A and B are shown apart, each in its own frame.
Chain A
Amino acid sequence: KAGVTQTPRYLIKTRGQQVTLSCSPISGHRSVSWYQQTPGQGLQFLFEYFSETQRNKGNFPGRFSGRQFSNSRSEMNVSTLELGDSALYLCASSFEGGIYGYTFGSGTRLTVV
């Protein structure tokens, strides 16, 4: 079966702009989580969605937001980009959340200049 699909793979944006990233989970998985990965901070949890509802949120500013659609596809948005937002953004698909394990997408590499 198809894996977790993230688009786009690479993005270059300017400070102050906004960006939207997309994630399509494995068919049948209704939980989608988002993580920010940076060399110094590891994998930092952003938020988790299940059946279009946000069930958990990490400690990120309100500039980071997300949503999930009825087909389980999810998007995350970052507004007013800062240089420090440069990172690999990983989407993780799961049957019902962390305790069922994740399948990660290949990620979106965001560079803010």
Chain B
Amino acid sequence: GENVEQHPSTLSVQEGDSAVIKCTYSDSASNYFPWYKQELGKRPQLIIDIRSNVGEKKDQRIAVTLNKTAKHFSLHITETQPEDSAVYFCAASYSGDYKLSFGAGTTVTVRA
């Protein structure tokens, strides 16, 4: 089955700096890669996703890049703010799998 590895496990950044989280996946059939943000005590929420026919996608301060050849994808957060502090999960899926396989999560702390 699909195995998703996520790094780093914790990330501390100064407010205004950028944060980058990287994930690798094992199954070349995977073609959908979402990112979820989970604030303390709350449910995970989808923040951005990308499909394998696209190399990059942006939404305001958030961007995701995908390298299918290397089987890795990354989340980039620019101009970080205190409200960006949360746990971020990457995931991967493919048609016929019916589930999302999640990375272990990255705890991001934005220092004021």
Contact = CB atoms under 8 A, between A and B. Distances in A.
Contacts, number: 64
A98 B93 contact: yes
Q: Kindly state the interface size class of chain B when it binds its partner.
A: 20 to 34
Q: Kindly state the interface size class of chain A when it binds its partner.
A: 20 to 34
Given A99-B93, A102-B46, A42 B99 contact: no
Interface stretch (B18-26, B61-69, B70-78, B101-109): B101-109
A113 to B, nearest CB: 21
Interface in B70-112: 89, 91, 93-95, 97-105
Listed from nearest, the 5 A-B pairs whose CB atoms lie closest are A98-B93, A97-B98, A98-B100, A43-B102, A104-B43
Interface of A: 31, 33, 35, 42-43, 45, 48, 50, 55-56, 58, 90, 92, 97-99, 101-107
